[in-house]
Amino acid sequence: MSVDLDQTPRSLLVCDRSSFLDEKNRISSQVEQLHFNYKVSVLLPECSSAPSHLDSVLNSFSSFYLIRKLPIHELLDKHFLEMAVYQGSAYGVSYRTRIDEDNCVALMPNGRLCLTLDKDSFQLLGFEGKLSRFTHRTNSRYVVSVDLTDSSMAPGGRGYLRLLTGLRSRLHLKCDFLLSHHPGGGASLQPLLSHYDWSEHRPEISTHALTHLSCPAQLTSDLQSCDPHSFLEWLGAVDGDISSENSPSSFLSSFVCPEPKTTLSQALSISVCGLLLPQDVHRLIQEIRCYLEQPLLESWVSLTVHGFVDSPVSWGGSEHGVLRGGENFYTLLMFHDHTYHLHLATGAHDICPP
């Protein structure tokens, strides 16, 4: 037993390095595959106020809708399927449900409906599913993943009816649901919204100006990046407003900015929270690239996108769980010469990101 005390929980970090000019770069697919983005934060060095075009992109992030106590079988509603799922892409994820204890639901833009259920609910539902990767000896979970665009799941089809009766009459699954649609917005979701208590929300933007920020010097000098873990740690410290001015002998904290370091006289950290669409993130990345084309004091910008902790999927359709932290996020460090470093991190037992 004493051996286990030193064992570290598994962690996974993928570091990609490529260029936007490379035809084979997969940045757009990597961005689009993380469906449920909770927070985007951008760090602009040597910048005191956000450039207007960046600001306008941030303000034009699509709004999202919160439906309270939505019976999940409503997602199989014929009108809703026709208006939202078959056309464009609908993003939906259950809100205030914890994937390690509650039943969670996600509606993916490719028309897949993903339910992760505990054993009782799964047996009550009586629909085909498979055992979760995050099953524990005493607490087994099951994942039901159905493609709503499949012919068998067309309204009136066998699979459709079976799932519908399962959700409607046997398993009365209800939860608060966050919903967003691209490109239709609220209009496409109207069939669903009209019946229930809902509210529209705008992504919340907060701007934070920083002064005299110490920063790893490797970022600025050449492309030899510093150790990804210490870079992410530093970025986290900036994001979390954690002081890195500590002496090594300090009792409280010995955290310092990775060496060698320089000092930025000012920096701007912008963050957006809510259910954010990958399309919007993509637009933001393009805008930042334009911003980087200008002659600037510092030639890099970093962008971090956090996924929903309780989302049943992380990248693509790969299953996601919480365990300790439930992290699924990526950090994109963009440079003046169109190269970028991408760091993708997921939780302890998730499948490796693309």
Partner 1 sequence: MVRVKSRYLLCEVNVSDRSRLLLLDDRTIAVAVKAVVARTHGDYGAALCSVGFSVKYLNAHTGIVFLRLPKRCYRLLWSALPFITSVEARGQKIPCFLNCLHVGGTIRTCQKFLIRYNTQQLHRMLPKCKNEEEKQQVRQAILNCSLTRGKNEALEDELGSEEDEGE
Partner 2 sequence: MRPVDKKGESAVYQRVVLKNASPYHYMKVCLVLEDESTRLSAVDFKQFIITGLKSLFGEVGAALNFDLLKYNEETLSAILRVYSRGLVKLWSSLTLLGSYQNQACAFRVLQVSPFLLALTGNSRELQLD
Which residues contribute to the site for partner 1 (CB under 8 A)? Answer: 1-3
One residue of 73, 141, 306, 320 binding partner 2 per CB under 8 A: 306
Q: Give the span between the Cα atoms of 160 and 147, in whole angstroms.
A: 10
- 8 touches partner 2 by CB under 8 A: yes
Nearer to partner 2, 75 or 272 (CB): 272
Shortest Å, Cβ 2 to partner 1? 4
The CA distances from residue 112 to 142, 175, 184, 192, 219, in Å, are 16, 18, 18, 17, 40
Nearer to partner 2, 235 or 285 (CB): 235
Among partner 2, partner 1, none, the one that 65 touches (CB under a kind-dependent 5 to 8 A) is none
- 196 touches partner 2 by CB under 8 A: no
Q: Give the span between the Cα atoms of 333 and 340, in whole angstroms.
A: 5
- 318 touches partner 2 by CB under 8 A: no
**Alpha helices, DSSP H only, in 168-227?**
186-193, 218-221
Among partner 2, partner 1, none, the one that 1 touches (CB under a kind-dependent 5 to 8 A) is partner 1
**Alpha helices, DSSP H only, in 166-276?**
186-193, 218-221, 228-239
Among partner 1, partner 2, none, the one that 248 touches (CB under a kind-dependent 5 to 8 A) is none
Shortest Å, Cβ 166 to partner 2? 28
Binding segment (CB under 8 A) for partner 2, from list 37-45, 75-83, 148-156, 258-266: 37-45
Q: Give the span between the Cα atoms of 96 and 208, in whole angstroms.
A: 27
Residues contacting 296, CB < 8 A, separation 6+: 46, 336
Shortest Å, Cβ 93 to partner 2? 9
Nearer to partner 1, 3 or 252 (CB): 3
Nearer to partner 2, 83 or 178 (CB): 178
- 177 touches partner 2 by CB under 8 A: no
- 327 touches partner 2 by CB under 8 A: yes
CB atoms within 10 A of CB 5: 6
Output the six-digit token pair for 229. 């873990």
Output the six-digit token pair for 30. 């990597």
CB atoms within 10 A of CB 337: 12
Nearer to partner 1, 2 or 169 (CB): 2
- Per DSSP bridges, beta strands 339-346 and 112-118 are unpaired
Q: Which of residues 93-152 bind partner 2 (CB under 8 A)?
A: 95, 98
Q: Are 12 and 346 in contact (CB under 8 A)?
A: yes
Q: Are 213 and 264 in contact (CB under 8 A)?
A: yes
Residue with token string 């009766």: 165
One residue of 137, 156, 240, 248 binding partner 2 per CB under 8 A: 240
Q: Give the span between the Cα atoms of 134 and 131, in whole angstroms.
A: 8
Nearer to partner 1, 7 or 247 (CB): 7
Q: Give the span between the Cα atoms of 85 and 76, in whole angstroms.
A: 10
Question: Alpha-carbon dihedral of residues 55, 285, 37, 269, nearest 10 degrees?
Answer: -50
Binding segment (CB under 8 A) for partner 2, from list 112-120, 184-192, 260-268, 308-316: 308-316
- 266 touches partner 2 by CB under 8 A: no
Closest CA to 99 of 327, 337, 345: 327
- 10 touches partner 2 by CB under 8 A: yes
Nearer to partner 2, 155 or 354 (CB): 354
- Where does this chain bind partner 2 (CB under 8 A)? 4-19, 21-22, 24-25, 38-39, 41, 66, 95, 98, 199, 201, 228-229, 232-233, 235-237, 239-243, 251-255, 273-274, 304, 306-311, 324-327, 329, 331, 337-339, 345, 352
